[in-house]
A and B are shown apart, each in its own frame.
Chain A
């Protein structure tokens, strides 16, 4: 008998499926059941660039302690895809479990001696119950959820309640799904009692938190933030953001009396047209955005330079994926940081925001429109596939009804009429931000010609060196102002004073939280700083100077944020130790813990030897 992993509310289940087989909704049902039992979890889709037929996985990390990063490893594999069987079986932790379809006998060489087998004759149960091939396929998924529920002792009342909510509009499906669920559940109860050492028990670990994907939350954030124009071109993993915006607009933005739309969404012919539309709308005073990924960012470069130099508000959601080129379209990375920070030719710098999860994606999405209009420049919201396309457990979304949009410095008719001095590129307040005017504001005052060429403070064309330099210097002052109004980094001090620090950002956050707890348990102490925006505020520089060594944890090959800090803050690169994870899967707590522990141990051994 192999060893058995025994755990309550703390394990990883991975489902190996075939793309397009209907497994996704069954797997999500499984995850939601556990959440409804009050047990925190993190779920991640690992999917191919494919519609049907290729392998796809769904990983559920159940964590009573509330860790939401990927843990690494698999305790229970639900192996439903013969194509990936060998790899899937090999990935199970020793003492773990393999749930498989035992209808057809498999040779012993297909199994592992250190893994516990849980055979369920899924095909056999299906074929005995259903004659329609489509039903056989779909209900097979619900049957394994039933078997899993019995094995893990998931509350059947919770499952049935969820099914009735899910199919509220089609009650006939409630009965058939409950029936399929019961087929699997009863089989496991009768035949597999005690086969699995992993259990789920009711707990209070979820509270009022919600389970939402970042693209969905950001699309809603754009609605709350007052975006009226969205222009986009389909590209994984950003597409669902524009689709979410559409969905939320249909719900919240149709004028109740006129039945007309308080929004305009254009699926453009390409990314270049998408950003052009966004810039045109921003120039004319509408809050506008696009959602794209790395290849789209590459295509939009010329327009970013125009928006930077002509000072036009725009919001760009970059849902980063594996690059370069077409790279790994359905895998996650943080590898567009440098591309966006310095997008376009000439001397340019752009404001970047780094949300850590869907909740912050909502907040930063809404805030980005204020920043774009205040700073009159493109704002990049740097999400990634992990945040964008996976459902995350996060705090409920909040909105303060007293909050007002910051429309920035825009000349009004009254100001123009009163003869207030208007120079489109004139720094009147010393913050580097000039006033702009919108078309048709005043019959005889405030008109100017917007251009990507050099001009003076009154928007008059000029190739005079001093005039050009004056403008470029003002743009730098404006970038300094950006530091004061973008989200501040978040500092967390270790329990004990330490000379080690770690900087991280974005979707690395949940894995980092867990890694820090694990390191702390080993007696290894690190202060951390979660960076939330570029340009970097003084806190970033102070943090680095307060530590001898700073780990910089990122999900790319080239340590892009580290390079940006070195470049912008004049920091000696030797102060940093890069912790880089870039295989396209989300970074894990295990990876961070072992990488940091190894370096810290090495350093202390070195010190002891000296």
Chain B
């Protein structure tokens, strides 16, 4: 299908959002990924999240590393600038881009090879610095683009398509002020999570299990469609209410928690487990381990700190984007230099 250009025409019945943009205005080029790839579902969910949040596409910058996942920024938000950088180093490039202009929304789109192997260090450090971004790890536990080697998130004991057995422990990607896991095949969970992540200030990490139809969708794989559907353990069911929309809460005492984010938007959590508290990082990590031991993949909003601040707050930078400052703000001028010279005599 990839040789076909998308037609510009669209169904007249497509509903515009508050900006007057339709779903189509949030799309990108036609995907060159394999048919049925989980990554395309994630792109579709991102498109839907941006459309529903009334985000101006050109106010988004999409950054990625190298791999199948890193190609996906091209397949969404065609009016946004994108940057396909080098393998495992997207977090640093995104950090720099964010420092240059704090006003934009930054999507870091990565995969498990890109984030958990070569890029584990940069991933952890970007999170540690509190870079304001939505970081999506399209996690299929396999190197697709180089044809099927294990990645660092592959479960111990899982089998590769070529028959190899993974003997290494998997790396679990958690640790930011917003941590969620979802499944590319579950749009009802993924879209609200993405919307909440976009409005979260600070690093929002989404680990999205995204089956590789070619190399990791067979029996013996722990990241196949069938395996994930069978072992999914959702901790909460989510609804997302943007800051400006009318807040209507369905009263289900004891089962609904409201999380108000910095911008006033509300994440409504319908709890499936009464004892699950997404504010408790330690408990969340223990819970993930516990369920992992029981062979289950926990999805949902795992942890959120709605009062988190970001790298710009840490660095105390001006509100105006640094890339818009000119000589007046930046250059101390000739007279100041005279005083500097005097201090070196």
Contact = CB atoms under 8 A, between A and B. Distances in A.
A278 B85 CA distance: 13
A226 to B, nearest CB: 4
A478 B121 CA distance: 35
A283 B73 contact: no
Residue among B331, B333, B336 having the largest count of chain A Cβ atoms under 10 Å? B331
Contacts of B57: 443
Contacts of B81: 437-440, 447-450
Contact of A288 (B96, B312, B333, B334): B96
A439 B101 CA distance: 9
Given A223-B332, A263-B322, A439-B80, A302 B86 contact: yes
Nearest to B333: A401
B58 A452 contact: no
Interface stretch (B8-16, B87-95, B173-181, B204-212): B87-95
A279 B316 contact: no
A444 interface: yes
A491 interface: no
Given A228-B325, A440-B59, A253 B97 contact: no
B99 A286 contact: yes
Given A229-B322, A449-B73, A452-B86, A212 B344 contact: yes
Contact of A306 (B86, B96, B332): B86
Contact of A279 (B96, B311, B340, B344): B96
B99 A229 contact: yes
Interface string A428-471: 00000000011111111001111111000000010000000000
B213 interface: no
Interface string B80-114: 11111110010111111111110110000000000
Interface in B115-154: 121-122, 125, 129
B162 interface: no
Contacts, number: 227
Contact of B58 (A220, A268, A280, A443): A443
A399 B327 contact: no
B323 to A, nearest CB: 4
A278 B101 contact: no
Contact of B340 (A220, A260, A284, A461): A220
Interface residues of B, number: 61
B337 interface: yes
A167 interface: no
A265 B103 CA distance: 18
B203 to A, nearest CB: 15
A310 B136 CA distance: 24
A451 B104 CA distance: 20
Given A224-B331, A260-B317, A281 B344 contact: no
B63 interface: yes
A233 B58 CA distance: 33
B327 A226 contact: yes
B78 interface: yes
Q: Is the interface of B mostly helix, strand, loop or mixed?
A: helix
A205 to B, nearest CB: 14
Contacts of A279: 85, 93, 96
A280 B332 CA distance: 26
B58 to A, nearest CB: 5
Contacts of A401: 333-334
B326 A276 contact: no
B334 A399 contact: yes
Nearest to B329: A262
Contacts of A450: 81-84
Contact of A264 (B56, B63, B99): B99
A302 B56 CA distance: 33
Interface in A376-429: 396-401, 404-405
A148 B219 CA distance: 84
A449 B92 contact: no
A285 B320 CA distance: 13
A314 B289 CA distance: 43
Contacts of B336: 252
Contacts of B333: 399, 401
A124 interface: no
Contacts of A223: 330-332
B105 to A, nearest CB: 10
B318 interface: yes
B295 to A, nearest CB: 35
Contacts of B91: 273, 276
A358 to B, nearest CB: 9
A255 B329 contact: yes
Nearest to A220: B340
A501 interface: no
Contacts of B334: 398-401
Given A260-B318, A261-B316, A211 B344 contact: yes
A155 B319 CA distance: 53
Given A263-B317, A306-B86, A401-B334, 7 more contacts: A226-B327, A231-B92, A258-B318, A273-B121, A273-B122, A443-B58, A449-B84
Interface of B: 56-59, 61, 63, 73-74, 78-86, 89, 91-101, 103-104, 121-122, 125, 129, 311-312, 315-319, 322-327, 329-334, 336-338, 340-341, 344-345
| 5 A-B pairs closest in CB distance | A280-B96, A276-B92, A286-B100, A285-B323, A284-B100
26 contacts: A210-B345, A226-B331, A228-B100, A228-B325, A231-B95, A252-B332, A253-B330, A263-B322, A273-B95, A276-B122, A280-B63, A280-B85, A280-B92, A280-B94, A280-B99, A281-B99, A284-B61, A286-B99, A399-B333, A401-B334, A443-B57, A443-B79, A444-B79, A448-B81, A450-B83, A461-B74
